[in-house]
Amino acid sequence: MLTSVQNVLGDETRGLPHLEMKPKMPFKRNILCIGAGYVGGPTMAMIAFKCPQYKVTVVDINPERIAQWNSDNLPIYEPGLDEVVKAARGRNLFFSTEIEKGIQDSDVIFVSVNTPTKTFGAGAGMAADLQYWDKTAREIRKYSQSNKIIVEKSTLPVKTAQAMERILTCGDNGVCFDVLSNPEFLAEGTAIQDLENPDRVLIGSSQTPEGFLARDVLVEIYANWIPRDKIITSNIWSSELSKLVANAFLAQRISSVNAISALCEKADADIQEVTRAVGMDSRVGSKFLNASVGFGGSCFKKDILNLVYICRYYDLKEVADYWEGVVKINDYQKERFILNMLQVMFNTLAGKKICLFGFAFKADTGDTRESPAIRIAKRLMEEKADLVITDPKAINNAKDDLEGEPGNVSYVEDPYEAAAGCCAIALMTEWSHYKRLDYEKIFQTMVKPAFIFDGRNILDHHGLHKIGFNVFPIGKPPLTHY
Ligand code: NAD
Ligand code: UGA
């Protein structure tokens, strides 16, 4: 039987009679991606942009999302994405809801569906919910009429490829599948630059001749624009696990810094001075050492909890507890932020108008999934504060996140208008334009005493203090007027 790779290789399989009879395709490859989300959309747009010789189709079960991808108003905000999509869409990049046709026409299928934390049954709150993944595997099996390479793009528990292979190969239609792991390391807000110039691309394959051939097909796709030495290969389980571990290490760095920020506040040290000193050790490195109100985003928490769940499954209690600590410190940091606000604002927030500067989980995205601002907003509402939320890109998502929450909340696009009449500003997202606002003007319109809680340490704290604000950074002594 032919492997999926022989089907996909085209020219390289000349001499194999059944493949030579394949109808001539206008494109060198037909690539499909199932899942048109934050990963599937930008990743496929980049492949199409860089490789006009391939036809790239992105399908999704959500027709609204697909309609947005086909419009001038893309479903996600990501700097540089519009230009990349516009250059390739209609040429060799297509967005569609026709999943069955997409599967039939393709020879390489990326699967980039969501893999959230399970909310029910065994492993609830910890394990990955693989229902979307499982459903996709069954659809691929059902509609495939020719051999295919399946690429795991979603972040998955280690050994998922095995489950995928079992689902795919239980049919009797003679179709062959090779499953590869190719986790995505892009960060939101910098997705386009990460995709264009990644630190590395990781491809895991089974260590068999067929596995290596399938791997080489994927290597060839990326090699169109990524230097060969940045495309690394491994066995499939290492690849799946590397993704979880990469996110766990990154999140661990933030929790480490945030834990020390609590100590700095007690010891009159300055977290930015400490991280500068520590980060200049080339073994540590200076990136990803910014103390904050806590990390957010759809993946850090879910991927660590998934890692913890897997460790517990293998009876590695100490290892599981160690990594769970990263999530616990993150929760502690958010709670610490709220309790500090409550305490310094004279132990009551009831009826006080508080403005949140930013709601996205980080700058340059409209994404609010697991944003620390959600927890902060809910806790402030529990304390009966009146909230005003401003954000350049995330107001609609903020409205969805807080829908039905008891309490007063309003949404105002202009930060000057949002802060007027408030007694405190809590900066949640490090949007750079918040650094450049006229805080003199803002101070004049606020209720006194006026407070600023800088949850990202991006503002000029001494300057704000001079204006008259009581300033509370993270991991630094506060600057007050009382
Ligand atoms: P997302 O929720 O934005 O997108 C997933 C899409 O898959 C949705 O549009 C959904 O409708 C679609 N979908 C679900 N089941 C489907 C099915 N059966 N057929 C067709 N479409 C289906 O998620 P995302 O943020 O793009 O993340 C996808 C995966 O990538 C996750 O595993 C995540 O952990 C991983 N990841 C995400 C990021 C990130 O920055 N968001 C980065 C790296 C890796
Ligand atoms: C993260 C990883 O950086 C990506 O490599 C990975 O692909 C992705 O998760 C994923 O798997 O989803 P992302 O969550 O988009 O990317 O953004 P990050 O830049 O990692 O920021 C995550 C959170 O940590 C944000 O809330 C950010 O504000 C916070 N952060 C980041 C800090 O609090 N301090 C820092 O020093 C850096």
DSSP letter string over 450-463?
PEEEETTS-S-HHH
CB distance 265 to ligand 2 below 6 Å: no
Instruction: Report, as residue numbers or ranges, the catalytic residues.
Output: 299
pLDDT of res. 11: 43
pLDDT confidence bin for 10, thresholds 50/70/90: very low
Q: What Cα–Cα distance (Å) separates residue 248 from each residue in 242, 264, 330?
A: 10, 24, 12
Which residue's CA is minimally distant from atom 14 of ligand 1?
Answer: 113
136 contacts 59 by C-beta, under 8 angstroms: no
CA atoms within 13 A on the CB side of 34: 29
Name residue 369's amino acid. R
**Candidate from 11-15, 261-265, 355-359, 399-403 with smallest mean pLDDT:** 11-15
Burial 43-61 (b: 16+ CB within 10 A, else e): bbbbbbbbbbebbbbbbbb
Q: How far is the CA of 299 from the centre of ligand 2 (A)?
A: 8
Q: What whole-number distance in Å separates Cα of residue 340 and Cα of residue 379?
A: 12
pLDDT of res. 394: 97
CB distance 326 to ligand 2 below 6 Å: no
List the 231-235 sheet strands across, edge first. 93-96, 54-59, 29-34, 108-111, 148-152, 177-181, 201-205, 231-235
pLDDT of res. 319: 98
Query: Does residue 156 surpass a pLDDT of 50?
Result: yes
pLDDT confidence bin for 25, thresholds 50/70/90: low
Indicate which atom in ligand 1 lies nearest the CA of residue 132. 15
Indicate which atom in ligand 1 lies nearest the CA of residue 155. 32
Which single residue is written with the structure tokens 């100590």?
A: 263
pTM confidence score: 0.94
Which residue's CA is minimally distant from atom 41 of ligand 1?
Answer: 38
Q: How far is the CA of 39 from the centre of ligand 2 (A)?
A: 14
Query: Average of pLDDT values for 171-189?
Result: 91
Q: How far is the CA of 263 from the centre of ligand 2 (A)?
A: 23
Query: Does residue 390 surpass a pLDDT of 90?
Result: yes
pLDDT of res. 18: 34
Q: What Cα–Cα distance (Å) separates residue 437 from each residue in 293, 431, 454, 474?
A: 21, 11, 14, 20
pLDDT of res. 195: 98
Average pLDDT, the chain: 93
pLDDT confidence bin for 433, thresholds 50/70/90: very high
147 contacts 7 by C-beta, under 8 angstroms: yes
Q: What whole-number distance in Å separates Cα of residue 311 and Cα of residue 41?
A: 32
Q: How far is the CA of 296 from the centre of ligand 2 (A)?
A: 7
Name residue 318's amino acid. E
Q: What whole-number distance in Å separates Cα of residue 36 and Cα of residue 373?
A: 26
Q: Which residues line ligand 1 (CB under 6 A)?
A: 34-40, 59-62, 65, 99, 112-115, 132, 135-136, 154-155, 184, 186, 188, 298-299
Query: Does residue 48 surpass a pLDDT of 80?
Result: yes
**Candidate from 11-25, 266-280, 392-406 with smallest mean pLDDT:** 11-25
Query: Does residue 169 surpass a pLDDT of 90?
Result: no
Q: What sign does the dihedral 431-435-436-440 (CA atoms) show?
A: positive
Would residue 303 be called left, alpha or beta, if left means φ above 0 and alpha means ψ between -120 and 50 degrees? alpha
Q: What whole-number distance in Å separates Cα of residue 269 and Cα of residue 258?
A: 13
CA atoms within 13 A on the CB side of 448: 9
User: Which residue, 312, 431, 432, 447, is CA-closest to 386?
Assistant: 447
pLDDT of res. 159: 82
Query: Does residue 4 surpass a pLDDT of 80?
Result: no
Q: What is the pLDDT of residues 292-312, one digit of tens each?
A: 999 999 999 999 999 999 999
Which residue's CA is minimally distant from atom 3 of ligand 1?
Answer: 37
Of all helices (H) and strands (E), which one includes residue 388? strand 386-390
CB distance 292 to ligand 2 below 6 Å: yes
Query: Does residue 250 surpass a pLDDT of 50?
Result: yes
Query: Does residue 23 surpass a pLDDT of 80?
Result: no
DSSP SS3 for 180: strand
- Provide the percentage of residues in the chain whose pLDDT is more than 70: 95
Indicate which atom in ligand 1 lies nearest the CA of residue 183. 44
pLDDT of res. 418: 98
pLDDT confidence bin for 173, thresholds 50/70/90: confident
Of all helices (H) and strands (E), which one includes residue 439? helix 439-445
CB distance 254 to ligand 2 below 6 Å: yes
DSSP symbol at 417: H
Query: Does residue 350 surpass a pLDDT of 90?
Result: yes
Name residue 228's amino acid. R
Indicate which atom in ligand 2 lies nearest the CA of residue 297. 14
Q: What whole-number distance in Å separates Cα of residue 184 and Cα of residue 461?
A: 37
Would residue 346 be called left, alpha or beta, if left means φ above 0 and alpha means ψ between -120 and 50 degrees? left
pLDDT of res. 268: 95
pLDDT of res. 14: 35
Query: Average of pLDDT values for 200-212?
Result: 97
- Provide the percentage of residues in the chain whose pLDDT is more than 90: 89
Query: Does residue 325 surpass a pLDDT of 60?
Result: yes
Query: Average of pLDDT values for 466-475?
Result: 98
Q: What is the dihedral of CA 61, 144, 132, 163, to 10 degrees?
A: -170
268 contacts 339 by C-beta, under 8 angstroms: no
Which single residue is written with the structure tokens 């604002």?
A: 345
